[in-house]
């Protein structure tokens, strides 16, 4: 069986705007610890590296030290609270479903590689009715490695039956770009996700402004037009 060209998506800030529910859950944790809730506008600097990092960052901006034992307790609380309502205030970005359908019709396998725990990842994909689009879904705890370790991405591609030589990572953050680069895989990024600096400054291979551009961008990277031969000049 031949391997398929593959498009691998990050989840938070790439496929879906999930910050409202993530920040809501973080604020439950902060209020539980007698700290003030943080506004949704802080999501771009807080979200994107997993729940533990989110809690650490939330406490840091709140000015409260956080020891490892407390962090682990709050992390477990976060996982439980978030699982109870992962997506009631979240939404897919415009054009996501049409873009995935166009890629699938063109012969590309699709997969998800995210630092969100696999339980919450699957709950969100099921909530939006898009689970069936993906040949593989990998969360932070699916393997012994997670982004920015390139093995998280390469193992996801392998699980999906994809060809790593014809693969592209779709993301929104430094973590996605670093992971793809370490795996020797090109990246396409969106500018509306969760990053603390403009995504263009991180130099992914391409930046798209809307998912309407994704199919063409993937083909541009994975199926470049052949160069004109000298005799044709």
106 is catalytic: no
Distance CA 177, CA 56 (A): 22
The secondary structure of residue 86, as a DSSP letter, is S
Please name the residue that has the structure tokens 């439950």.
28
Distance CA 18, CA 123 (A): 12
Catalytic residue among 10, 21, 172, 176: 10
CA dist list (Å): 101 to 94, 95, 136, 165: 13, 10, 16, 22
Beta bridge partners of 6: 109, 167
Enumerate helices (H) and strands (E) in the chain, giving the number of each.
9, 8
Q: Which residues are catalytic?
A: 10
């Amino acid at each position: 069986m031949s391997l398929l060209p593959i498009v691998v998506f990050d989840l938070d800030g790439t496929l879906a705007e999930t910050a409202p529910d993530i920040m809501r859950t973080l604020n439950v944790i902060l209020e539980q610890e007698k700290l003030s809730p943080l506004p949704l506008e802080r999501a771009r600097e807080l979200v994107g590296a997993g729940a533990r990092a989110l809690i650490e960052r939330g406490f840091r901006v709140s000015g409260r030290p956080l020891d490892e034992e407390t962090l682990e307790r709050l992390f477990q609380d976060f996982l439980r609270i978030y699982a109870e309502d992962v997506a009631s205030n979240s939404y897919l970005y415009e054009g996501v479903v049409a873009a995935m359908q166009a890629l699938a019709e063109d012969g590309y396998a699709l997969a998800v590689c995210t630092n969100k725990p696999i339980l919450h990842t699957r709950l969100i994909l099921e909530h939006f009715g898009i689970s069936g689009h993906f040949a593989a879904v990998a969360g932070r705890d699916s393997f012994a490695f997670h982004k920015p370790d390139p093995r998280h991405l390469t193992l996801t591609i392998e699980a999906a039956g994809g060809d790593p030589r014809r693969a592209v990572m779709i993301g929104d953050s430094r973590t996605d770009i670093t992971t793809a680069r370490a795996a020797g895989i090109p990246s396409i990024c969106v500018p509306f996700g969760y990053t603390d600096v403009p995504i263009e400054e991180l130099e992914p291979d391409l930046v798209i402004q809307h998912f309407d551009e994704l199919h063409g961008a993937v083909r541009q990277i994975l199926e470049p037009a052949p160069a004109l031969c000298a005799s044709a000049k």
